[in-house]
Amino acid sequence: SSASTAGGQGLQSAPSTVDASKALAEMNELEDKVKEAEEKVKRAASQSHHYVGLISKFDTLKGYGFVSCPETFKRFGRDIFIDRESYQGARIGDTVVFSVGFNKKGEVRACDVQKLNEVTRLKQELQQKKQVYMTSISRSGMNVQSALEFIQ
């Protein structure tokens, strides 16, 4: 009877392994699409002296936030200030293209901010797939740490 129990468990875990492999393949494909889309917009942005970044923080009560961008961080040593007017229609986590300007005090700020809808959509889809994958892994009893190493 213990052999049939072990056999039963083996049969149950096989589909989840196949599902996990399929989910990983889908996530890898989507990650490639995200990278490709980001590289394309970064090339176009750099040709017009713009940057591609991520809205990392925004305080709606204070009316300002910050855009994270590795290129501008290297140049200015900090995330780029974004005000309420430039933030219109965007949300935290959105990928945006922007140029850099300076306020009256000479501090750097984001200008000409435009949300990159397709890149943002792809990133959100990838994040959702990762969450579904992690939920299915935790339900299957697989070591979550091992699963995390696959998607990093």
Residue 28: predicted pLDDT: 87
10-residue averages of pLDDT along the chain (152 residues): 42 54 83 86 83 93 94 96 86 92 94 88 87 79 65 60
- Which distant-in-sequence residues (6+ apart) come within 8 Å of 110 by Cβ? 53, 67, 80, 81, 82, 86, 96, 98, 99, 100, 101
Residue 102 identity: F
Reduced to 3 states (helix: H, G, I; strand: E, B; else coil), residue 106 is: coil
Residue 148: predicted pLDDT: 64
Residue 111: predicted pLDDT: 93
Residue 40: predicted pLDDT: 86
Residue 66: predicted pLDDT: 96
CA angle 86, 53, 92 (to 5 degrees): 65
Measured between alpha carbons, how far is 85 from 52 in angstroms, rounded to an integer?
A: 18
pTM: 0.68
**Distance between first and last Cα of the chain:** 41
